[in-house]
Amino acid sequence: MHSTFDPSAFREALIILAAAALVIPLFHRLRASPLLGFIVVGMAFGPFGLGGWAEQLPWLSYISLSDKERIAPFAEFGVVLLLFMIGLELSFARLRSLARFVFGLGLVVFVLAAAGIGAIAALLGAPPGASAILGLSLGMSSTAVVIGVLAEAERLLSPVGRLCFAVLLLQDLAVVPILFVLGTPHFSLSGFSTAGLGAFAVVIAQAVGTVLGTILLGRIGLRPLFRSVARTGSPELLMAAVLLVVLATALAMAAAQLSMALGALIAGLLLSETEYRHQVAVMIAPFKGLLLGVFLVAVGMSLDLRQLFAEPLIVLAGLVGIIGLKAALTVVLARLVGIPWGIGLQAGMLLGPGGEFGFVILNTGASHGMISPSLAGLALLLVALSMALVPPLHALGLQVERRTKKHRPADAALFAPSVGDVPKVIIAGFGRVGRIVADLLSVHRIPYVAIDRDADLVARARAEGCNAYFGDLTDPALLRQLQLSSALALVVTLDNPRVADQLIVSALRLRPDMCIVARARDAAHAAHLYRLGAFDAVPETIEASLQLAEAVLVDVGIPMGPVIASIHEKRAEIQAEIKARAPDATPRPLSRPRLRDLRPKQKV
C-alpha cells in the first residue's frame, strides 16, 4: 500500500532554502546584513504577507508560510547551535574574567530597563500585572540576532562584543526564574506563598545540580568520547558526536526547567577547553547559520505590519522609547564602570532592541491572563520590529567607532587579549619536525598553534603543555578558524606531499602575502614547493648532510666559528641552486611582522 505524497509537507523547507540561495546573496550584493534578509523573507511569505492572501488566492498556500509552529523546533535549534558556537569561542577562564560585567553591569542594566519600561507602561494606564510583563519582556535583548551580527562582523571578541555578551548572558540566565514565577500557580506578581517559595527553592537546587553535574560529566567524558571518534577518521561520526553532546546537554537543561540554549552554551564551553574546538567549530558553522536563519524567518512571520499602519505613531514612539531607554542605561552604566562612551554607545544600540525571550514571556503572560491579547500583540510587534533594526543599528555603531578615539578603560577586562587574539605561527603537522619548531618558537617567546590529524599525538602534546589541536588540514575553513588572516607564518611539516601542496595553495588563496615555510624531501621537491608559492622550502636530506658535515668538521678540530660560516655559505649556495630550478615561481609580496609584534604583551 503506497502512502500519499503531500508536497505541502516540504513547503517551509523549500521557501527557506530558496531564501538562503536567492535572497541572501542579494542582500550581500546590497551590502546589507543577511540576517535582515531572513527577517524580510518571514515578513513577505508569512501569515501577514502572502500567507494572509491564501484564503482569497488558494494557490498562494503553496508558496507561503502560514504556520509558524511548523518551523518552531528548527528555529529553536538554531538558537541552541548559536549558543553552542558562543561557548566554543569562550572558555571558563574567559567567562570568569567577565563575571563582574555579567552579574554587575548586566544585572543592573536589565533590572533598571525592566523597571523603567514597566513604570512607563503603568503611567500610560496598563494594569500592574501587564506593566510587569511588558517590563520583563521588552527589557530583554536578542542574543540570537546580536551575537549573529557580531559573529558575522568578527567582533565577538572585541570590547563591544564582550560587553554585549556579558549583558545578554545575564538576561538568558534571568529567563529561568522569570518563566518559573510566571508559570507557577503559587506565585503572583504581587507576592507569593510559603509553598511557592519552597517550590522555587527546590527548582533552583535542581537547576544548580543539573548544571554542576553536566559540567562534571563533560570534563570527565568529552575528551575520551571525541578521541575515540577521531581515531576512526570519519567526519560523519565526529558530526554525530557533536550533535549528541549538544542535544544531550540542551535536553538535560530543559528537563531541569532551564533554557536549552543554556545547555548548549555549557556544551560549547566544555568543548572549548579541548583539542577539538577548532574542528568542531568548522563543522557546525554551516548548520548554525542556516538554522539561525530559520529562527529569523520565524521572527519576520510575527511582524503584523497592518498594526503598524493602523497605529504608526504609537509603534514609532514605542520603538524609540524602548531602544532609547535601554541604550541610554547601557551607556551611562558602562561609563560609570570605566568603559569609554563610544564602546558603551555601540553596545547600547545593539542591546536596545527587544529579544527572542520577549516572545516567550509575552506568550506565557497572555496564556495566564496577565496581559490582554491586544496589548500583547502590540508588544510582540515592538519586539519583532526592534529586532529587525539590530543590523542597521550595528552599522551605525561601526560609524560611531570610526569617529571616536579609542581609550583604554580603567577596568581592562574587556580589552584583555585572549589566546585567540594574539597573532601566532601556525604549525601544520605536529610530529617530530613540528615539535622541534614549536620548542624553538617557545624559546623565543613566539606564540604558535599546531594542528594535526592524529588524535592520540595531539592528546599527548596537550598533556605536555603544547598548544596543539585536532583538525583536518585540507579544509580551508579550518585555516580561517585559526585566524590565518592575522597569522605570522605558516609552517608546513607534513610528510604527505599531496596534502602539503593542497594546504599551501589554499593558504595562498586566502592570504597571498602569507609567509609559508615548508618541509621538503629533497632538492626537487623543494623546487616544486617554491613554484607553488612557498617562501622557504627546507629539504630534509640536504639539512641532514649539512649537520653531518658540521659534526665531522668540529670533531676533526676545526674551530666552531669557521665551521658555522662555511655551513651557512653552503646552505645559501644550495638554496640558490634550488630556486634556479623554479624560474617560473611568481614573486609575491610578503607580510613580515616586526619581532616585537610576535610576542604577546599579556598572558591570559
Judged against a pLDDT cut of 90, whether residue 254 lies above it is answered with: no
pLDDT of residue 490: 93
Q: What is the CA radius of gyration of the chain?
A: 28
- Under the banding of pLDDT at 50, 70 and 90, the label for residue 9 is low
- Tell me the domains of the chain and their CATH numbers: 75-294+322-413 (1.20.1530.20), 419-598 (3.40.50.720)
C-alpha 346, offset from chain centre: 19
Per-residue pLDDT of 365-375, as tens digits, reads 887 788 888 88
- The rounded distance, in Å, linking the Cα atoms of 110 and 174 is 9
What are the backbone dihedrals phi and psi of residue 426, each rounded to the nearest 5 degrees, phi first? -95, 125
Helix axes 159-183, 260-272, angle to 10 degrees: 140
> What is the average per-residue pLDDT within 391-416?
67
What lies within 8 Å, CB to CB, of 335 at 6+ separation is: 341, 344
Per-residue pLDDT of 304-329, as tens digits, reads 777 778 888 888 999 999 999 999 99
- Under the banding of pLDDT at 50, 70 and 90, the label for residue 438 is very high
**Are the beta carbons of 133 and 117 closer than 8 angstroms?**
no
Pairing relation of β-strands 425-428 and 489-492? parallel
- The rounded distance, in Å, linking the Cα atoms of 300 and 462 is 46
Question: Which segments within 308-447 are labelled E, that is strand?
Answer: 425-428
> What is the average per-residue pLDDT within 102-114?
89
- Under the banding of pLDDT at 50, 70 and 90, the label for residue 186 is very low
> What is the average per-residue pLDDT within 285-289?
79
pLDDT of residue 600: 45
Judged against a pLDDT cut of 90, whether residue 452 lies above it is answered with: yes
Pairing relation of β-strands 468-470 and 448-452? parallel
C-alpha 83, offset from chain centre: 8
- Under the banding of pLDDT at 50, 70 and 90, the label for residue 112 is very high
pLDDT of residue 468: 92
Cell matching residue 41: 523573507
Amino acid present at 169: L
- Under the banding of pLDDT at 50, 70 and 90, the label for residue 590 is low
pLDDT of residue 196: 55
Mean pLDDT taken over the chain: 80
- Name the residue with cell 532592541: 353
- The rounded distance, in Å, linking the Cα atoms of 381 and 359 is 10
Among candidate residues 514, 125, 440, 331, the one with its CA nearest the CA of residue 505 = 514
3-state secondary structure 262-284: HHHHHHHHHHHCCCCHHHHHHHH
> What is the average per-residue pLDDT within 382-389?
86
Intra-chain end-to-end CA distance of the chain, in Å: 65
**Are the beta carbons of 533 and 504 closer than 8 angstroms?**
yes
- Under the banding of pLDDT at 50, 70 and 90, the label for residue 7 is low
